[in-house]
Structure 1
Amino acid sequence: MAFLPFTWVRGLTSLLSPLRLLAAHGWLRESDVDAGLALLHPALRLNRVFAQVTQRHWVADDMLELTLRANGNWRSAQPGQHLQLFLERDGMRLSRSYSLTAVQAGGRLQVAIKHQAGGRVSPYLLEHLAVGDVLELGHAYGELSWPAAPQGVLLLAAGSGITPLLGMLRAALAQGFSAPITLLHYVREQGQRGFAAELQALQAQHSNLQVRWSLTAAGAEPEGLAGRFTGEHLAEVTQLDQRRVLACGPAGFVAQVQQWWQAAKLPGALQTEAFTPPAFSRDISVRQVRLGFTRSHQQALANNQRSLLEHAEEQGLKPAYGCRQGICASCTCTLVSGTVRDLHSGALFSEPGQPIRLCVSAAHSDVEIDL
């Protein structure tokens, strides 16, 4: 039960400065102060960022957009970046990263969540998180950005890859971007077309915007596309050689776009972001290696094709993580000995004491990590 309205929570942030100073110098324990503040309102903290759910809006059959309002510790972010959401379930602290689809004044922000079958976080957020509930927020991260050049833009999305691109598209149109924009969104079925109604409305409102969908598990709709990404889908995109290209989706989709872009030899830089780990290299023969967790005093046999994060979790360990795709660096750990392989690039790392990201690193030899 909250004893203060949320509007007071944001206003109290500046008044807590003396307590922050005392905690910073060791006169108070921040955790003790936070425990007391949480009795007044679950989102009230000295330094940590908490946000209250103010609205739930289904934007596809399997995607929900949450509108949140953060406490006064929120320091803003850019649409298209990712944001970690933390929650406690059955005594465990869980987190996942979701794309910011809007960032507004007064600590208001929106994230979109796609249902992941068998997941521990997204099904709970979609089915049980209610308006008025409170979540902890992490730092925003992500390097996708709207092109600074005034040329046209081509946006290519697959599945939930629409969410960061939509965030940037909303902001660009609101700021008066007038060059041609084409958005192609690849989904399995019609009901998975995230934000379809809004995108159609934006297309009607802005003459420079064209939106098309391709159904990958069904036939094309009238005047629509069908199947996975191919360069032939871009035949009607005007001035293609002058477009800046941004692509987001699963690793396989991003790889297809990269291959097309390299073959097309378009000017400018291609911006991509994959939200699934890359496919394991088939050039590396499968074998077992020994994996040691020094702080936990555990040993295990590891498959050299799987990530260190997966092996650690199978041993009952609970390393921190966020995106599980090598972007946020939340799962960074120290290599004690042995050689690991970066699953993105195939690069090998063997220098003791160097940081490695567990979610995109696999054991290349017997390995010891500080976990």
Structure 2
Amino acid sequence: MSIRTPQTRTADATASTGRLNRWFGSIVEAAMSPHPVDRYLELIDPMLTWRDLRAQIVRVEHPTPHTVRLQLRPTRQWKGHRAGQFVQLSVVIDGVRHSRCFSPANAAGRDGDIELTIAAHDDGFVSRHLAATARAGDVVGLSQAQGEFTLPESDPRSVVFISGGSGVTPVLSMLRTLLSDDYDGPITFVHYAPTPREAAYRAALASLAAVNPNLDLRCYYTRVDDDHFSEAHLDGVADLVDADVFVCGPGALMDAVSDFHEAAGLHRPLHTEAFTLAAPIAVDPDEPITGELAFLASGATTTNDGRPILDQAESAGLTPESGCRMGICFSCTATKLSGCTRNVLTGELDTEADKQIQLCINAPVGDVDIDI
């Protein structure tokens, strides 16, 4: 015979309340179709959401001439991140929503604010926009954290972090997480920046090294001393042969560290995360229709037949949010994670990844992954 304790009854009541809330929300959303509840709530307060995850910018800093640091306060839907993961931040620019991936630099966890430090590159459309216009009080779109570039489940014997430029953010999150968990193994942190002035976390890293005797900080400046990665930069690292090595940064740095790791015969696998985009693919719009359309959120796939993504999604049995046929434009947007699409109205090709697109006017060209 089971005994129902007060804790059990409380848990049952909580579960029942959760089911009631979800049931009520489903009825409200159905009544407000074709738009979900959040489209109406945002008219009252952009941070008042039922399902959407958003964040409010509570602080903006410019630690270097070419970076912007955002402190974000997420809505209740935020599930936290593991150190090293990334989020998709989305903003509206000239009426079009754009999404980009950035790695939180704060320690892992669910509670508290999110810290993003973003390098505004010359060809960075969204990053330059954020650097120039982001203000405290702005509300941005946010995704849950993703990515496999994370710390191992059990504490490593020794850790080496190697980063270049904006690649510092995921490994800094790992470092802060280890230190907050009182990790006492040897940590070596090697960072490369063009100049000391352009090292966005120079002061923060120095402060951590000053109070953590197990942290060996080594900073090199490529434009000042022409200091690029070399084996000598890891001289004297404790337990290097058994160290977990994490590297994130430009391609040249990644390649150099990978070559060293293989040549040195280090026992542990190399953990990598690239912070450079692949070159755009060349597509001939006159080629025969080929490829597969993958709807990653639902797990469905279909052979590309050339029609707009909305039509193909519905033919595959999916029901993406849409008010297009009722004259409500821009309600059928979703994130294209990879691949090339063609605007059926203009013929324009788009190979940009992690970008919000309209499903009703964009058709896949070859293989396309879409977050539906």
Q: TM-score, normalised by structure 1?
A: 0.71
Aligned-residue offset at 1:227: 2.0
Quote the residue 2:15 is aligned against: none
Are the structure 2 counterparts of residues 192 and 315 from structure 1 closer, same or farther at C-alpha, using a change threshold of 3 Å? Answer: farther
Quote the residue 1:295 is aligned against: 307
Aligned-residue offset at 1:173: 0.2
Alignment deviations for residues 292-342 of structure 1 (CA, whole Å, 9 cap, x no partner): 672369xxxxxxxxx95499899524577329xxxxxxxxx9776xxxxxx
Percent sequence identity over matched residues? Answer: 29
Partner SS state of residue 177, structure 1: coil
Alignment partner of 1:154 is 2:156: no
Alignment partner of 1:94 is 2:133: no
Alignment deviations for residues 49-73 of structure 1 (CA, whole Å, 9 cap, x no partner): 1110111233333222211111112
Supply the distance in 1 between the matched residues of 2:234 and 2:113 (Cα, whole angstroms): 36
Alignment partner of 1:268 is 2:234: no
- Within 5 Å, give how 1:1-371 maps onto structure 2: 17=22, 19-23=24-28, 26-29=30-33, 31-102=35-106, 103-106=108-111, 108-147=113-152, 148-219=154-225, 226-277=226-277, 290-291=286-287, 294-295=306-307, 309=340, 316-317=348-349, 321-322=353-354
CA RMSD of aligned residues (A): 3.4
Supply the distance in 2 between the matched residues of 1:14 and 1:80 (Cα, whole angstroms): 34
Alignment deviations for residues 21-51 of structure 1 (CA, whole Å, 9 cap, x no partner): 2156x34327252232112211212211111
Report if the CA contact (8 A) 1:16-1:46 is conserved.
no
Are the structure 2 counterparts of residues 334 and 23 from structure 1 closer, same or farther at C-alpha, using a change threshold of 3 Å? Answer: farther
Supply the distance in 2 between the matched residues of 1:191 and 1:292 (Cα, whole angstroms): 51
Supply the distance in 1 between the matched residues of 2:221 and 2:141 (Cα, whole angstroms): 36
Alignment deviations for residues 227-266 of structure 1 (CA, whole Å, 9 cap, x no partner): 2211122123233212110000122221211111011110
Report if the CA contact (8 A) 1:60-1:195 is conserved.
no
Supply the distance in 1 between the matched residues of 2:54 and 2:283 (Cα, whole angstroms): 44
Report if the CA contact (8 A) 1:193-1:213 is conserved.
no
Partner SS state of residue 182, structure 2: coil
Unaligned runs of 5+ in 2: 1-17, 290-305, 310-337, 356-362
Aligned-residue offset at 1:92: 1.0
Partner SS state of residue 35, structure 2: helix
Report if the CA contact (8 A) 1:54-1:69 is conserved.
yes
Supply the distance in 1 between the matched residues of 2:340 and 2:352 (Cα, whole angstroms): 9
Unaligned runs of 5+ in 1: 1-12, 220-225, 281-285, 298-306, 324-332, 337-354, 359-371
How many residue pairs get matched? 300
Alignment deviations for residues 91-111 of structure 1 (CA, whole Å, 9 cap, x no partner): 211111111112555452111
Report if the CA contact (8 A) 1:30-1:46 is conserved.
no
Quote the residue 1:328 is aligned against: none
Supply the distance in 2 between the matched residues of 1:214 and 1:262 (Cα, whole angstroms): 23
Q: Aligned letter for 2:100? A: R
Report if the CA contact (8 A) 1:247-1:254 is conserved.
yes
Q: Aligned letter for 1:119? A: G
Supply the distance in 2 between the matched residues of 1:312 and 1:261 (Cα, whole angstroms): 45
